[in-house]
Chains A and B, each alone.
Chain A
């Protein structure tokens, strides 16, 4: 018998257990990793529990404990939004770079895919280069792009939108071609013009694929934004990592990582939610 509770337990319990195991291992590593540091700082310390407790309260620990990381993130939330010690301004900057990149890259990718689907010569001439561009480490071009555009939002958006555009183009081409051939023929037999076929048939069919591309692109854009920020930025998660590196503030590294991961997950969930809202109206297609 499968009650909702049991199926929930089947899906959730293993995940929770693995998560708990990761956290336990993390604490053990933190105690082990910071042990020598604690004894060096305070040679008089005695007893396992005293030392273990001290390993979790180090300022610049070798391995910060989960609660230190969460605490640091929580404290950095509780400041005025424009304070660079707060995470808000960094989250906002990187989020904007990512969001604008998704928007620009998504629109560009869709336009190019539309062009390719409607023009065979264009596709033949340019698609191989779109594919080949994936093998070029775009991130390796980040320092060049940032140098051309300076420490501006534009430079970062160029990097992020480039990363998004690729993922969207490839999936949108597939999507625009995925429309039911029978429906295509039907529309033709009713003398529908290409414009109508595009908006009524091909575009709706492509939407789920476009969202897949956007979801892949979202992480790529986040990585792109962070890496681009290394080469010059006033704010941003990447800038916060660089800043923490100068002062070896290990807890700040980890809390920035946590914030970046949450930003990535938030973008992914937002896109998944938008997909459900927009694509829901469509009947499921095989």
Chain B
């Protein structure tokens, strides 16, 4: 109720603008119409979970939140290890490497023909299963997990960059060439703008992949104190509220990571068709 009145109030100042008046409240109603049903579902599911489900593995949401509160110091430490050290570093390294190799692929057709089939192939290979090998090589600390995240994020990034940079319109390219544009200008003015939406798509896919990858990689090496290890250890001693708290933290982190990239995407590709609105 409160929400509605505040929005309506903000709609009123335009009251003098004639035909535009009715748009804002109606838009709000449409907005509420899309938000309300999923929220209702969430409330019902949470209520069922809280009061009906009785299973040790599914502790009530209140217990999960309570566990999040009592264990916040430990979870915060794990978060720093899993997200800050493993996921983020691996993500940055993997994405930078993927973009660089993608640029090389777009410049040299021959490299593209040779490399891209392997990138496509890697889609149907369970990369995460190499975790024990990387732990064996780089030790139990964060570098081994960051290396896994690097490998996981590299291929989607490479594929998206290489495809994006080569999907420009041939006509535009011919026009630029006929104006004697340098290859740098073509890259800067044609290839990069066409590729940006795809590159951001890759960055978004990889953002959630990196958090999941780092968490799951920790399952394979039950040392250290990351979120994955906490989940693994918690499951072994049946401390399910802690397990769920860690899962919750990992999920929220993945969503926030994705959201940050969505904002960046809007900032960098505001001109793209998908953001054009009718009004």
Contacts and interface: CB of A to CB of B under 8 A. Distances in A.
Interface of A: 10-11, 14-15, 17-19, 62, 121, 124-129, 132, 134-137, 139-141, 143-144, 147-148, 215, 218-219, 222-223, 226-227, 230-231, 237-238, 241, 244-245, 248, 250, 253-254, 256-257, 260-261, 264-265, 267-268
Nearest to B246: A140
A18 B118 contact: yes
A260 B266 CA distance: 39
Contact of B129 (A121, A124, A128, A241): A241
A140 B34 contact: no
Q: How large is the interface on B (under 10, 10 to 19, 20 to 34, 35 or more residues)?
A: 35 or more
B132 A144 contact: no
Contact of B250 (A10, A137, A265): A137
A135 B115 CA distance: 29
B220 A245 contact: yes
Nearest to A146: B235
B57 interface: yes
A19 B246 CA distance: 41
B148 interface: no
Contacts of B246: 140
Given A139-B216, A260-B126, 4 more contacts: A125-B41, A218-B124, A219-B125, A265-B121
Contacts of A215: 124
Contacts of B228: 140
Interface of B: 33-34, 37-38, 40-42, 55, 57-58, 110-111, 113-115, 117-118, 121, 123-126, 128-130, 132-133, 136-137, 208, 211-212, 215-216, 219-220, 227-228, 231-232, 235, 238, 240, 243-244, 246-247, 250-251, 254-255, 258
When A and B form their complex, which 6 residue pairs have the shortest distance between CB atoms, in order from nearest? A14-B114, A143-B235, A125-B37, A18-B114, A14-B113, A128-B38
Contact of B235 (A144, A218, A237): A144
B258 A136 contact: no
Which secondary structure dominates where chain A touches chain B? helix
Contact of B125 (A143, A144, A265): A265
Contacts of B132: 241, 244-245, 253
Contacts of B136: 62, 248, 250, 253
Nearest to A262: B125
A11 B126 contact: no
B41 A129 contact: yes
A256 B58 CA distance: 34
A127 to B, nearest CB: 8
Contacts of A264: 124-126
Nearest to B209: A137
Nearest to A125: B37
B212 A219 contact: no
Residue of B42, B58, B219 most packed against chain A (CB within 10 A): B219
B146 to A, nearest CB: 17
8 contacts: A125-B37, A126-B41, A137-B211, A137-B212, A148-B58, A219-B126, A223-B126, A244-B132
A62 B255 CA distance: 38
Contacts of A143: 219, 231-232, 235, 243
A260 B125 contact: yes
A126 B40 CA distance: 10
Contacts of B126: 219, 222-223, 226, 260-261, 264
Residue of A10, A121, A230, A237 most packed against chain B (CB within 10 A): A230
A137 B213 CA distance: 9
A238 B131 CA distance: 11
A129 B38 contact: yes
B258 A147 contact: no
Residue of A134, A144, A253, A254 most packed against chain B (CB within 10 A): A144
B235 A268 contact: no
Nearest to B233: A143
Contacts of B110: 14
A172 to B, nearest CB: 20
Contacts of B211: 137
